Chains A and B, each alone.
Chain A
Amino acid sequence: MSLPDELLALASHLANLNDEAHRQASLRRAVSTAYYALFHLLVSETTLNWSWEETRSALGRLFEHRKMKGVCATKAADLNKLLKDNPQDSQELTVSKHLLTIAKSFVRVFQERSDADYDTSKEWDQTDVLRQIDAVSAAFKSWEAIRNEPAAQAFLFSLLAKDR
């Protein structure tokens, strides 16, 4: 099992612990772990394109969470605008819908992960945590469906590319 898959499975395990003594801590760790599952999926898929396997891990350290969130927010806004015009069914449209699922999921789970890790005033509900894990799981499936598409690879590159 890959690290992103392991993290997603762990997130689900933590969310379903139903351990009253550690309920809030478990739910917080579940949210944070779900975010890192998606983060590491996108990072690992990007670095797979780097032929020197030994340096992929170091390359992955170049990714910045905030930068990725910003790219995903812009991508989601662009795709929402595109889909609003009800374009005809096509492979491009299918890819766009999957990319929207991934981008929106990243933006939202980034915010939730920050809350889970740093906002101690927030009380978590299991329904919401399970829903977030489901959303990340859907993003994983979307990625699997489009990972070899040029638009998907361009999206990965944009997560790392510097603004010019």
Chain B
Amino acid sequence: MPKGECAGIRIQKSEVTGVQGLRCWRSKSVVVIIPRAHAQQAEFAAAVAQVERQLHPNVLHIYHRFGNDWTGEASVFFIVVLSDAASRRDQLLSVTNGVSDAIEQQVEPLEQWGVLPYFNFRSQSEQARHKEEVWA
């Protein structure tokens, strides 16, 4: 995110006890800034679900969770489950670029929600081999 900009929400610290992923700046009064995506998780999930519906049948499900990347930047991590047909080697890059472009352009995770997006992709067959999935 460019310096001086933040798609976040400023709230008094006393109001946010227990909220995860906080970033604090101390000045005369204590103010906490959190990414909008953290404060409005249901709205973020709804925006992602809308894109998911548009991308069917290539995309079967889009999971996401919030966290920080390896440099500490507020991020959203997507796991996209593709149909086996859409996971074919010869079209993998174009399909996955289409998915990430759709999310970036329609949801605008960084610009509107203050979180840097990262994407992982699985085929339907691979997803079946994963024991658990606890993400949204």
Contacts and interface: CB of A to CB of B under 8 A. Distances in A.
A47 interface: no
B126 A73 contact: no
B1 A131 contact: no
Given A77-B2, A77-B110, A128 B70 contact: no
Interface in A115-133: 115, 123, 125-128, 130-131
A73 B116 contact: yes
Interface stretch (A48-56, A106-114, A154-162): A106-114
A54 B110 CA distance: 42
Interface residues on B, range: 20 to 34
Interface in B89-109: 89, 92-93, 96-97, 104-105
A18 to B, nearest CB: 13
Contacts of B43: none
A136 to B, nearest CB: 11
B80 to A, nearest CB: 9
Contacts of B89: 130
